[in-house]
């Protein structure tokens, strides 16, 4: 019985057939992908707090700002600011129109 390569079952050179490799499991008591040390937890907490604060300011500004003072659809800016911190940064950098139609308060 041949497999089309000239050998029998892929073992023409006498080597065992190659098994697909599986990801190595963490050893007993080892660290998995979501085990964070204290420093990593603090950094993650700071990033999360910054994201929430920036998103709240962005959503408040979008709620108060008229449609004519926003570049692009407000709904898109709301979604992008909520999902990703770069959305809020992009809104404050590019999404707001400066001029007479912008609120002053």
Closest by CA to 63, choosing from 75, 54, 71, is 75
Domain boundaries, the chain: 38-95
Question: pLDDT of 11-49, one tens digit each?
Answer: 556 666 676 665 555 555 566 777 889 999 999 999 999
3-class DSSP assignment, residue 70: strand
What radius of gyration, in Å, describes the C-alpha atoms of the chain? 27
Q: How far is the C-alpha of 88 from the C-alpha of 44, rounded, in Å?
A: 18
- The 10 Å Cβ neighbour count of residue 3 is 11
User: Given this model, what pLDDT does residue 25 score?
Assistant: 56
């Amino acid at each position: 019985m041949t497999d089309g390569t000239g050998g029998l079952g892929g073992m023409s050179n006498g080597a065992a057939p190659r098994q697909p490799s599986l990801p190595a499991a963490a050893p007993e008591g080892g660290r998995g992908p979501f085990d964070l040390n204290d420093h990593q937890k603090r950094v993650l907490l700071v990033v999360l707090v910054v994201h929430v604060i920036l998103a709240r300011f962005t959503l408040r500004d979008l709620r108060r700002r008229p449609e004519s003072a926003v570049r692009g659809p407000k709904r898109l800016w709301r979604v992008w600011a909520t999902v990703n911190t770069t959305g809020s940064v992009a809104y404050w950098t590019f999404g707001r129109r400066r001029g007479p139609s912008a609120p002053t308060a």
